Amino acid sequence: MFKALLLEQDGTDTRARVASVDEALLMPGDVTVAVEYSTLNYKDALAITGRGPVVRRWPMIPGIDFAGVVESSEHPRFHAGDKVLLNGWGVGENHWGGLAQKARVPGDFLIALPASISARDAMAIGTAGYTAMLCVQALERAGIAPDQGEVLVTGANGGVGSFAVAILAGLGYRVIASTGRAEHAERLRALGAAEIIDRQTLSEAGKPLQKERWIGAIDSVGSHTLANVCAGTRYGGAVAACGLAQGMDFPSTVAPFILRGVTLAGIDSVKAPIEKRLSAWERLSRAIDPKMIAAIATEITLAEAIPTASALLDGKVEGRVIVNPDI
């Protein structure tokens, strides 16, 4: 038996509880992992509260991220005792996830935990930091370098945004951070933001082409915000889009792309191939300051994840939430 946060459906309502689960019920996979840490992401919070259609099968153990130690493996890349990491792949949606003491998954979902990162720190970084690094690498592939101009980060107080600000600043970029929470401006400056702008300047319908300002951008918001970001991107610039906090729509025109040669790069962290995952985590192992992780991370129990999920969706949680399934 192992302890897990279990989601069950009662009519149209979602019920979340901490339960003892028989290991024999674990879903198919060729690697069984003793989970040391998981984390609470926005998608996890939607699943736990039932506020979003995240869960595709019931019952479900949520948790789109986890890090731990291999207990048993029939996969050629992994052996008992190996330290591993998982992000995405539909875990916590279609396949039982990481908010539990054990997980069984296909080995192709896993990568080796970088030697310089602990399981706890890996979950403080989580999908948020991993996605931010994928975005930064997309800008680099588009040729965006620190000496070319400013880079905008929208949703800068969120998980992806915060890591994007810190990573870009650490690489020498001048970062403009867009946020709707002016009270957190000092936090963003501490992460490396050189300038703070109000998200309302980007969130309303705007002109298809606007004054050229930033050479690159990382957007986790979508909708009008993404349209305005593209409209304000300089000639030859690039935008990495990874989220839809404002909406899935994209009310724009082709003008920025055919008149200014702007590149719009879509970032998918869920099914990214292993080569991209390994590259992103190798870079993260060098780019993220452990002191920053310690400053932003709060550790909670599986039971505490239930009320914390609601607080997260209500905007009452700051920093990263790490879940220790053994306490």
pLDDT of residue 317: 83
Asked, for residue 284, whether it belongs to a domain, the answer is: no
Q: What pTM was computed for the model? A: 0.93
304 contacts: CB under 8 Å, gap ≥ 6: none
Kindly state the percentage of the chain with pLDDT values over 90: 86
276: in domain? no
Looking at the structure, do residues 43 and 103 belong to the same domain, yes or no? Answer: yes
Do residue 98 and residue 189 come from a single domain?
no
Is 279 a member of any domain?
no
- 139 within domain boundaries: yes
Residues 303 and 186 in one domain: no
pLDDT tens-digit profile of 226-237? 999 999 999 999
Q: Are 32 and 71 in contact (CB under 8 A)?
A: yes
Task: Please tell me the total count of domains within the chain.
Answer: 2
Residue 202 lies in a domain: yes
| Residue 132 belongs to a domain | yes
**Residues 164 and 137 reside in one and the same domain:** yes
| 36 and 154 housed in the same domain | no
User: From CA 61, how far away is CA 53, in angstroms rounded?
Assistant: 15
Question: Do the domain assignments include residue 274?
Answer: no
Looking at residue 252, its pLDDT comes to 95
Same domain, 302 and 213: no
Domain that holds residue 96: 2-113+289-323
Residues 262 and 140 grouped into a single domain: yes
CATH number of the domain encompassing residue 204: 3.40.50.720
pLDDT per residue as tens digits for the range 18-51: 999 999 999 999 999 999 999 999 899 999 999 9
Regarding whether 153 and 105 lie in a shared domain, the answer is no
Same domain, 308 and 255: no
| Domain assignment present for 118 | no
Give CA–CA dist 27/300, Å, rounded. 26
Buried b (16+ CB within 10 A) or exposed e, 284-316: bbebbeeebbeebbeebbbebbbebbeebbeee
> Tens digit of pLDDT for each residue in 45-58?
999 999 988 999 99
Pair (62, 148) in one structural domain: no
Q: For position 248, what pLDDT does the model report?
A: 92
